[in-house]
Structure formats: C-alpha cells, structure tokens
Structure 1
Amino acid sequence: MFSPTYCIGGMLAVLAWHSQAQAAPPDPSAADAVPPVVYESPLQSYRRFEPQPPGNWREANDNVGRIGGWQTYAAEVWEASQSQDGGAEADAGDANPHQHH
C-alpha cells in the first residue's frame, strides 16, 4: 500500500544522506585550521615561601583594645545574623530570650 508520509520521509532521508556525502573534508594543510599550542608552565610564576617575623604582640593587643576587643567582633556577628534572620526571633516571642536569666 502506498503512503505519501512514507514516501516523503524516504525522500528526506535520501536527501540528507546525499548532502552529507557531498560535504568536502577540511584541508589539513590550511595554516589557520589548528591554532598553535602555547604552553606556560605553572612553575614559571612560582614564588618561594618567605617566613615573616612575628609582629609586636603588645601593639597587636593595644590595637584590639582600641577597636573594642572581642565584644566588638561578637556584636558585628550578632548584627549580621539579625539582618539575615529578618527579625524572625523577635516575632516569635520575647525580644531578648535571655532577659530572665
């Protein structure tokens, strides 16, 4: 039995095969076919570890005291966590859960 659908499908398959058979392979002698390989060693920019002498611990302690010590760092972390939470703990009940302790 003749079906136009099979006939059209077969014709398309033959045309696709024919167009692939006619494609010319690339010319391997073309200079721009393959870019030149450039190698850069990762060791070329290597810098040797140079130990640094320890700093003055008294100046470091004085600087931490001027900044406000560990309490300043703890306050920064607490404020950042509050801004990320969006105040979810404040909506859940007491504003300060440790106020009764």
Structure 2
Amino acid sequence: MSTFLPARWLVVLPALAAFASGAQTDPAPSSAVATEPASAPRFRSAMEGYKPFTEEKPASWKEANETVRRRGGWQAYANEDAAASDPHAGHAMPMPPTPKKDKP
C-alpha cells in the first residue's frame, strides 16, 4: 500500500524543474541581424531645456492689496477653496424655506 507523502514531492518537483530548464537551448542567431552594425546610442542631457532661476521684483503691498480687493477680497479666495474641495458644490439642492412662526 502506498501513501501520499508531500515531502517526496517537495524534493521531486524542483529537481524536475531544474532538469527541464537545463534542456532548453538558445535560438540560433539570425544572419540578417548579425550583419547589421549596431547604431551608437544618442546622448541626451537631462539639463537640455534648463532655464536658470531669475529673481523677479515682488509687487508692492499696495498693488497686492488692490489686486485682492478687485478679485473680491478674502471671501473670493475662500469660495475658490470651498469649490475646489467639494466636487458637488454646483449640484447642491436649495434648502426649503423655514416656516415663519407667528408671534402671540
């Protein structure tokens, strides 16, 4: 009576894989490929399109404040941030009106 022993398979399977990989041969080189000269690799510098940093004169604080005022002040910048963080901001449903309470 034979029994199944996993330990035997752990030895046999890697040995079969080693023999099968050793039996493979490289394909014969093609004569057309062997006769063509290899082209020289082209060098391309990573700094090819580099533009050096140029210091720009900052705007005066009065001009910067005027630009902010023309754009709507700090509220305009806050609204831009809120719209950017909420992708469904333009799809919000309006709130129903609140019922008015009569004073006694």
Aligning the two structures, in what range does the TM-score lie when normalised by the shorter sequence?
0.3 to 0.5
Q: Give the TM-score normalised by structure 2.
A: 0.47
Q: Give the TM-score normalised by structure 1.
A: 0.48
